[in-house]
């Protein structure tokens, strides 16, 4: 009986994912910790999802923050996690995403099962905030990807993968209870990241190249077959746009522009708004190029 219930839960999550599709003028936010933040450097996740959206116009924003948790721990510069949580709320309110893809659990899993309930409670509060701040039509929960065991002196990661599996199951249950979509990256990769990470945890370029179509698959979308040079041309434009957004969203001199030293250079913060037109221009180029490569793919 228990096996039947588990199977039913898995089937319902998969069925939901199959029904997902992007809509014209969707704004998609990637939210999470290191796995999400590093994805913007390589562009593979966004490229594959943009292609899977077809000719539909979709824009993406990456709000990943390395080391972050569902409590906003890493997003606060000098204050408490609440400061980071409030910062995220302000960011989401400003962007107004229609789709939010959330990937947490990789950091929390190190704490093991004893902290699982605390993590899920915090995740629930985060989801309440996301839905209240954005009114997004879709909030999709992603499981964290598996870790990789590398040769000594790097640590053996089999136990961590066991913990990640526990957290994956808890996130899937949370998604089911809230009627949200769930994309199982851990399962799509068969619980293995062999040859994909730089240090056992953080994916490199090859890792994201492999993970990206797995994410498309986990969301029930259809991957687009293209020649590598066509895909890379689109990816390069996406990475350029991502760099511009990152420089606007997290300027390296933010202390001077927005925080406690803004009395020195705060007048220059107005220049951050000038990024908007440049980013919009880059996105128009991305859409135009995507249209051309999609014609070739059909």
Spatial contact of 164 and 172, defined as CB atoms under 8 Å apart: no
pLDDT at 8 over 50: no
Residue 135's alpha-carbon distances to 95, 140, 294, in angstroms, are 12, 13, 31
58-62, strands of its sheet edge to edge: 58-62, 26-32, 99-103, 138-142, 181-183
Ramachandran angles phi, psi of 200, nearest 5°: 100, -25
- Provide the CATH topology of domain 9-224: Rossmann fold (3.40.50)
Distance, CA of 190 to CA of 184 (rounded, Å) = 10
pLDDT of residue 259: 60
pLDDT in tens, 83-126: 999 999 999 999 999 999 999 999 999 999 999 999 999 999 99
pLDDT at 20 over 80: yes
- Between β-strands 181-183 and 99-103, what pairing exists: parallel, antiparallel or unpaired? unpaired
Q: Note the pTM of the prediction, 2 decimals.
A: 0.90
Helix (H, G, I), strand (E, B) or coil at 27: strand
The count of C-alpha atoms lying within 13 angstroms of the C-alpha of 137, restricted to the half-sphere facing its C-beta, is 10
For the chain, what are the domain ranges?
A: 9-224, 228-298
Residue 217's alpha-carbon distances to 143, 185, 202, 240, in angstroms, are 14, 9, 21, 26
The pLDDT-based confidence of 247 (bands split at 50, 70, 90) is very high
């Amino acid at each position: 009986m228990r096996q039947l219930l588990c199977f039913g839960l898995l089937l319902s999550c998969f069925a939901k994912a199959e029904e997902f599709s992007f809509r014209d003028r969707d704004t998609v936010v990637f939210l999470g910790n290191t796995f999400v933040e590093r994805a913007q450097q390589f562009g593979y996740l966004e490229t594959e999802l943009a292609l899977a959206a077809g000719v539909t116009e979709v824009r993406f924003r990456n709000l990943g923050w390395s080391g972050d948790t569902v409590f906003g721990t890493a997003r606060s510069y000098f204050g408490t996690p609440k400061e980071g949580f409030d910062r995220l709320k302000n960011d989401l309110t400003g962007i107004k995403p229609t789709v939010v893809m959330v990937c947490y659990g990789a950091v929390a899993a190190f704490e093991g099962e004893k902290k699982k309930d605390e993590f899920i409670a915090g995740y629930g509060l985060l989801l309440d905030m996301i839905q209240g701040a954005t009114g997004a039509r879709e909030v999709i929960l992603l499981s964290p990807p598996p870790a990789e065991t590398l040769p000594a002196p790097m640590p053996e990661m089999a136990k961590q993968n066991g913990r990640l599996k526990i957290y994956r199951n808890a996130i899937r249950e949370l998604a089911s209870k809230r009627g949200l979509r769930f994309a199982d990256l851990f399962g799509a990769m068969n619980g293995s990241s062999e040859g994909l990470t730089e240090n056992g945890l953080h994916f490199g370029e090859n890792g994201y190249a492999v993970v990206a179509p797995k994410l498309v698959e986990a969301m029930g979308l259809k991957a687009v077959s293209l020649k590598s040079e066509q895909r890379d041309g689109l990816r390069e434009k996406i990475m350029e746009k991502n760099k511009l957004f990152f420089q606007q969203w997290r300027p390296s001199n933010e202390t001077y522009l927005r925080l406690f030293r803004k009395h020195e250079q705060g007048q220059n913060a107005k220049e951050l708004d000038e990024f908007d037109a440049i980013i919009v221009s880059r996105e128009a180029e991305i859409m135009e190029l995507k249209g051309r490569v999609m014609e070739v793919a059909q």
